[in-house]
Amino acid sequence: MNLPTVLLTGFAPFAGDTINPSREVVRALAGRVIAGHRVEIAELPVAFAAARRELAAAIDRTQPALVLAIGQAGGRACVSLERVAINLIDARIADNDSAQPIDEAVIANAPAACFSTLPVKAMRAAMQAAGVPTELSFSAGSYVCNAVFFALMHRLAHHHPGARGGFIHIPYLPAQAALHPGAPSMALDTMTRGIAIAIETALSHASDIRAIAGTLD
């Protein structure tokens, strides 16, 4: 059956790690049908140039109604729904292709920032109600995840105006936290359930709910 699709992307391991929770979560959801949409997945390299190329190819291949890019944010305790992508790369470490751009634009002559087009507040409410620790975040950092997020939003706006998308950072898995003493972690099953609820909520909300989510700092 020809169902409409959701594209879910995860990343390869990086920074010397052998696992990336985002890759595990997207693999767990591959092929799942959620709210009448089939989940297609792509595994992106942690490399500025290649990740963007492969993201574009995956969007062209799957023609998704919704794109959710997932990445690891080691040190965060909650699933983080990112609100803002910035047009800036400042790589603290080299990527997996040994590139380390500093103070470069993700896309030259594009705006300084753009917003997620996901109903992040509705998603947070549904995920929290299901017992998945979830927060909204105002920064996806300045590394490969933010660059993929910005490139995604730029591409959807210019080539797929009917499609929505955004980025979600997830914590370490417990096995990773065991190697980073003191770092928070979340079970794979909890994160996978959370991302499935995120997809379902995004598909069932054409616009976001009104709720307070701002910060003072």
Residues that bind ligand PCA (CB under 6 A): 11, 14, 20, 22, 46, 71-73, 141, 143-145
Confirm if 209 and 119 have CB atoms less than 8 A apart: yes
Q: Which of 78, 82, 114, 154 is catalytic?
A: 82
Examine the residue annotation and report whether 145 is marked as an active-site residue of this protein: yes
Residue closest to 47 by CA, chosen among 39, 55, 38: 55
Nearest distance from C-beta of residue 40 to ligand PCA, angstroms: 19
Nearest distance from C-beta of residue 129 to ligand PCA, angstroms: 26
Q: Tokens for 147, please give them.
A: 């660059």
Whole-Å CA distances, 172 to 15, 51, 97, 138, 191 = 13, 21, 23, 19, 10
Nearest distance from C-beta of residue 5 to ligand PCA, angstroms: 22
Examine the residue annotation and report whether 82 is marked as an active-site residue of this protein: yes
Residue 72 or 116: the one with the smaller Cβ distance to ligand PCA is 72
Residue 122 or 149: the one with the smaller Cβ distance to ligand PCA is 149
Residue 122 or 198: the one with the smaller Cβ distance to ligand PCA is 198
Q: Output the residue with the shortest Cβ distance to ligand PCA.
A: 145
Q: How many residues does the chain have?
A: 217
Examine the residue annotation and report whether 104 is marked as an active-site residue of this protein: no
Confirm if 171 and 73 have CB atoms less than 8 A apart: yes
Nearest distance from C-beta of residue 56 to ligand PCA, angstroms: 17
d(CA 57, CA 51): 10
DSSP state, residue 72 = E
Residue 122 or 167: the one with the smaller Cβ distance to ligand PCA is 167
Position 174, amino acid: P
Residues noted as catalytic: 82, 145, 169
